[in-house]
Structure 1
Amino acid sequence: MLICMNLAVAIPRNRIRISTIKSVQSQDSQPMDHPKRVVVCGGGVIGVCTAYFLTKKGASVTLIEKSTIACAASGKAGGFLALDWCDGGPVEHLARASFNLHRSLSQELNGTEAYGYRSLTALSLTVAEESKTTVSSSSSATLPSWIDGPTHGPKTIGTHETTAQVHPQLFTRTLIENAVEKYGVKVVIGKLERLVVEGGKVESVILESGGVVDADAVVLALGPWSNKLELLSSRFRVSGLKAHSIVLEPKEANAITQHALFLSYRASNRRTPLDPEVYPRPTGEVYVCGMSKEEEVPDDPEEIRGNEESIAMLKRVAKTVSSHLGEEGVKVEQACFLPCTDDGVPIIGEVPGVKGCYVATGHSCWGILNGPATGAAVAELVLDGHSTIVDLKRFSPARFVGRTKA
């Protein structure tokens, strides 16, 4: 386990380090110029990035997580990063800022060694199970030798200047390790029950165990669990898109090159093509994901299991794309929930009517990419009253005021 033993994550899930909570409450007796007390709820990439940048700016931060750091989508995602794939859309500036922040964080935290940060080439291609053709003559890209299945029309859609990757679980945990060791972030394992709001301002966080953490500000980075908190679900909807993935150990790891694959996959028993993705990792493993559909999000992230037919299809995709990716190499079968909003735009900003309460969620499949810029922007918003790294107006939860929820 990468998390340091002085973190509360080493404590069983049904226990709370009450001394940690008391130490936060005891700051009430300090002078008014003490660092602003901020509680971040959620130990995924958005919450961890927010805690990291808050504490770098001088805040006294407690991060509350129900299970373990990066236990859900932040530990089971692909970790793909793109500079310009969101251009022309509402998250263009957020994505570009975050792509560049990933690069600088890698330099700061030795990301190549710590969490597999590296640039790569991204290819799109068609795979048809019933075809025997490998590459069409009109192809604009040359396939590496390990991609030896029935493929058509490969195209280069990302270069070493515009696309990169991280191992998402290692990235998130490296960030929280540094936040704890260098800047004193406190991590508490416990389930958020509710917020105490007095006179329209957040005052404290109540845990299911009965623990109370006083706060000058609270950031709710709950991902698809945002709908479980009435304070948020009464204002907007965040649904969960269940995405499946497998992790394989290839037959010849040295043969696998730095090429991310975005497939149009034509299965012999399906009328419409699928869109799985394949990401070789610096660890020597290969990650394959896809087969997404909206489902009810369970209360406990540890209860999430993949659907058998979806996992079986991903295994089929892997071995069809490459003879190096046989089913015998599958090490992990998993699923996670991506947080999605009704308008497809992340929700980042102060909750209307609740001063000092902020939300950051709804990043869908781009959570790992947009985590750093979201965290840095929220840190500025909480401590300075506005964000300079990116304009957060279009992400404000105030846009849902007066709307009828679907």
Structure 2
Amino acid sequence: MEPPSQQQHQQHVVVCGGGVIGACTAYFLGKKGVRVTLVEKSAIACAASGKAGGFLALDMCDGSVLRGLARASFGLHQSLAEELDGESYGYRRIHALGLGIEEAKGAPGYLSKGHAKASVPAWVDGPVSGSAKPIGNPKTMAQVHPQLFTQAIFAKAVEKYGVSLVIGKVQEVKLAGNKVTGVVVDGEVIAADTVVVAMGPWSGENSLVSSLTSISGLKAHSIVVRPKQPDAISPYALFLTYRTKEGKVLDPEIYPRPRGEVYVCGMTEEVAVPDDPQQIIPRPEATAMLQRVAGTVSSVLAGAEIEVAQACFLPCSEDGVPVIGKIPNVDGAYVATGHSCWGILNAPATGASLAELIVDGVSTTVDLKPFDPLRFCIRASRSR
């Protein structure tokens, strides 16, 4: 055995942020033999990763720069479900439909089972306008419970790869010249060779990120209801064009989950992101509207008890494209944020690719060039 002074140094990576992006990055780094510490201010999946819909799509990002990331991630979700017991976090294949709903002037007019539209599942007996448009089937669509998935993959990272968790606020990334040396957490320094900033909309609070680009947050509302007849609801995700009786057009989404609850989302607004995820509260008017949507779409959902009314902030980049890769001109600094509404889907491939980039110097799971933070430096130089 080599004496300690001659043993190879084990790389230590500090991942900042305990959402789905940070958890997946920690998992895949651990899998590659790296010592990993994840720092989270509150709890694993306490923000958007615990309050998202958990919808997974193979091909809905086709035609955009997200295509490769989404397709790789969809496959990784399947393999992770086999490794992590996907049933425990609600992984299943589903159908998805797009359809119009137009509120009646009075009470919702529910259709009898015999007169329900053949193109929609039987539980969708509200005022459907036009024909439903199939978006996907179990070959191309799936879902997870996002909070349970994030917690499951991080738990596996801890159990199998020795990833450690520190609860505290990341205050600063320490540098010696242009080299990362550690992270300041609640006044204490955690030494590190490499740091990954994956704090969702709070990533922009880090000076290394804010000096490069801006990251904002879009507030999204959702409710989780539990119908009295959950067995009547088949696994169809609904993407709605919803016209209220007042003439307002909304785009809510409804995701039944395998444990009997139904997730409803779709009310977004641009407001300031609070310092603490625990300070994010839903707007009562938005919650009421989502409950109204659910009850209009389906008599099975009408009057269903609201188990959770919540809100979160989706992390958005300035150009609408995720920011994944090495921070320019700083040795050992990386970022992964700006995934917007596709964070749960794209987290596994983001984590796997970033782990490859950090450890091997190149990503093979996905070509990260479209997401490279360097693009902001190039644009800035061209605009001069």
Deviation at residue 366 of structure 1 after TM alignment: 0.2
Instruction: Name the CA shift for 1:155/1:206 in 2 (closer, same or farther; >3 Å).
Output: same
Asked whether the 8 Å contact 1:41–1:219 carries over to 2, the reply is: yes
Which residue number corresponds to residue 255 of structure 1? 232
Following the alignment from structure 1 to structure 2, what is the Cα–Cα distance between the partners of residues 355 and 300?
29
Following the alignment from structure 2 to structure 1, what is the Cα–Cα distance between the partners of residues 111 and 8?
67
After superposition, what is the alpha-carbon deviation per residue over 1:209-232, rounded to whole angstroms, capped at 9, x for unaligned?
A: x22111111111011001212221
Deviation at residue 125 of structure 1 after TM alignment: 0.6
- Residue 73 in structure 1 maps to residue 56 in structure 2: no
Asked whether the 8 Å contact 2:127–2:296 carries over to 1, the reply is: yes
Following the alignment from structure 2 to structure 1, what is the Cα–Cα distance between the partners of residues 14 and 7?
18
Deviation at residue 134 of structure 1 after TM alignment: 5.5
Following the alignment from structure 1 to structure 2, what is the Cα–Cα distance between the partners of residues 102 and 328?
31
Following the alignment from structure 2 to structure 1, what is the Cα–Cα distance between the partners of residues 24 and 6?
28
Deviation at residue 140 of structure 1 after TM alignment: 9.5
Asked whether the 8 Å contact 1:38–1:60 carries over to 2, the reply is: yes
Following the alignment from structure 1 to structure 2, what is the Cα–Cα distance between the partners of residues 349 and 402?
15
SS class of match (1:239): strand
- Residue 177 in structure 1 maps to residue 151 in structure 2: no
Asked whether the 8 Å contact 1:248–1:330 carries over to 2, the reply is: yes
Match of 1:52 among 27, 33, 37: 27
TM-score (norm 1): 0.88
SS class of match (1:401): helix
Which residue number corresponds to residue 68 of structure 2? 93
Which residue number corresponds to residue 89 of structure 2? 115
Instruction: Name the CA shift for 1:270/1:221 in 2 (closer, same or farther; >3 Å).
Output: same
Which residue number corresponds to residue 212 of structure 2? 235
Instruction: Name the CA shift for 1:387/1:286 in 2 (closer, same or farther; >3 Å).
Output: same
Which residue number corresponds to residue 356 of structure 2? 380
Amino acid at match of 1:176: F
Asked whether the 8 Å contact 2:201–2:273 carries over to 1, the reply is: yes
- Residue 278 in structure 1 maps to residue 254 in structure 2: yes
Deviation at residue 38 of structure 1 after TM alignment: 0.5
Instruction: Name the CA shift for 1:327/1:133 in 2 (closer, same or farther; >3 Å).
Output: closer
Following the alignment from structure 1 to structure 2, what is the Cα–Cα distance between the partners of residues 140 and 356?
57
Deviation at residue 270 of structure 1 after TM alignment: 3.7
**Structure 1 stretches lacking a partner, 5+ long:** 1-28
Give the fraction of aligned pairs with identical amino acids, expressed as a percent.
59
TM-score (norm 2): 0.93
Which residue number corresponds to residue 317 of structure 2? 341
Which residue number corresponds to residue 375 of structure 2? 399
SS class of match (1:148): coil
**Structure 2 stretches lacking a partner, 5+ long:** none
SS class of match (1:399): helix
Instruction: Name the CA shift for 1:30/1:269 in 2 (closer, same or farther; >3 Å).
Output: farther
Amino acid at match of 1:52: Y
SS class of match (2:46): coil
SS class of match (2:138): coil
Following the alignment from structure 1 to structure 2, what is the Cα–Cα distance between the partners of residues 166 and 343?
28
Deviation at residue 35 of structure 1 after TM alignment: 2.5
Match of 1:264 among 230, 236, 241: 241
Following the alignment from structure 1 to structure 2, what is the Cα–Cα distance between the partners of residues 83 and 302?
33
Deviation at residue 347 of structure 1 after TM alignment: 0.2
Amino acid at match of 1:150: P
Following the alignment from structure 1 to structure 2, what is the Cα–Cα distance between the partners of residues 317 and 30?
65
Deviation at residue 203 of structure 1 after TM alignment: 0.5
Which residue number corresponds to residue 360 of structure 1? 336
